[in-house]
Amino acid sequence: MVWSWLRRSTWLLLWSAIVLCGGVLDTLANGLSIAPIRLVFDGRSRVATVYLTNKSDAETTYRILVRDKRMLESGQIVDAEDAWPGERFASELLRFSPRRVVLKPGSSQTVRIMLRNPSEGQLEHGEYRTHLVFQSVPNVPPPGDRIDDHTVAHAIIETSIPVIIRRDNPEATVAFASASVDTALSRDGRPQLDLVLARQGERSIYGDITVDWIDDGGQERTVAKIVGIAVYHPTPRRHVRLPLNVEDPDVLSTGHLHVRFEESALGRGDLWTDTKVDLLAERIFQ
């Protein structure tokens, strides 16, 4: 029987940490495409739809659930049991359907998400957040199939997207707390820029970081860009390391780097900050 086989098997859980950086999220490990990659209820909406598409060549089952999570300063998203001061979880504020889907190769499915209590007046000012989790369910052999006594390992791939509820337009500010070129090259031999993006206020931020190298003659060239980087409330800062796209690290011995963060429409679109890294003063590669 299937259940007796399950008891004899060892399940290997591979929790997949996904960086959300665009309008559609593809989890290459199991071929699941998710759109959109963020849901924000800001008082003008109380119902949203997420579209799932199976891009693999096998039928796959997904379990859907909500789970409260928190961002560490490294950017890692981890499960959170107890709220920090000022942190508000939203797992109890949502309804969603279905809770389980079976997708044939190339097929799609919609997931409907609704606020349990859409009234602005019944939620306090600020931001509430949880995560919608999509968990692959490993296929099991049909009853009657012979299973030997060897240990069987199955990978459970888990992907999540944030669901944010905001009331009364909570504000935030953003600034670069530090920016410097790392003396250690990346694995592919490129110099790296170490950044600390600091967030203050009552809401999360989400946007893009662009790094331009400006040589002594004033010529400008984009050497790095990261699209869709978040700092979730109440985490105060996020450490970011960006490889710089230059053929020879020595070219960064002169001029300066202009680093800027611009919040995108998927955030709220009204935050901007920049900083400068004087390469001649650092003399990193001389």
For residue range 248-280, list pLDDT tens digits in order. Answer: 877 788 899 999 999 988 777 789 999 999 987
CATH of the domain at 264: 2.60.40.10
Give the mean model confidence (pLDDT) for residues 82-93: 92
Check residue 31 and give left, alpha or beta (phi > 0: left; psi -120 to 50: alpha). left
Q: Are residues 86 and 34 in the same domain?
A: yes
Q: Are residues 72 and 196 in the same domain?
A: no
Q: Of 106, 135, 167, which closes a domain?
A: 167
Q: Are residues 179 and 119 in the same domain?
A: no
More confident residue, 173 or 25: 173
Q: What is the pLDDT of residue 86?
A: 87
Q: What is the pLDDT of residue 25?
A: 60
**If you search the block for the tokens 């949502």, which residue do you land on?**
94
Q: How do beta strands 256-263 and 205-214 pair? A: antiparallel
Q: What is the pLDDT of residue 24?
A: 61
Q: Are residues 123 and 177 in the same domain?
A: no
How many CB atoms within 10 Å of residue 162? Answer: 21
Q: What is the pLDDT of residue 44?
A: 75
Task: Indicate whether 142 pLDDT > 60.
Answer: no
Q: What is the pLDDT of residue 73?
A: 97
Q: Are residues 114 and 185 in the same domain?
A: no
Q: Are 46 and 188 in contact (CB under 8 A)?
A: no
| Domain region containing 109 | 2-167
* Segment (H or E) for 238: strand 237-243
Q: What is the pLDDT of residue 19?
A: 31
Q: Are residues 6 and 82 in the same domain?
A: yes
Q: Are residues 129 and 206 in the same domain?
A: no
Total tally of structural domains belonging to the chain: 2
Q: Are residues 150 and 198 in the same domain?
A: no
Q: Are residues 221 and 263 in the same domain?
A: yes
Q: Are residues 63 and 183 in the same domain?
A: no
| Three-state secondary-structure class, residue 286 | coil
User: pLDDT tier at 151 (50, 70, 90 boundaries)?
Assistant: low
Q: Are residues 66 and 114 in the same domain?
A: yes
Q: Of 167, 197, 229, which closes a domain?
A: 167
Count the helices and strands in the chain (H runs, E runs): 2, 20
Q: Which two tokens stand for residue 70?
A: 């928190």
Q: Of 132, 167, 202, which closes a domain?
A: 167
For 42, half-sphere exposure in the C-beta direction (CA atoms, 13 angstrom radius) is 12
For the ranges 7-11, 21-25, 103-107, 174-178, the lowest mean pLDDT is seen at: 7-11
Q: Which two tokens stand for residue 8?
A: 């004899």
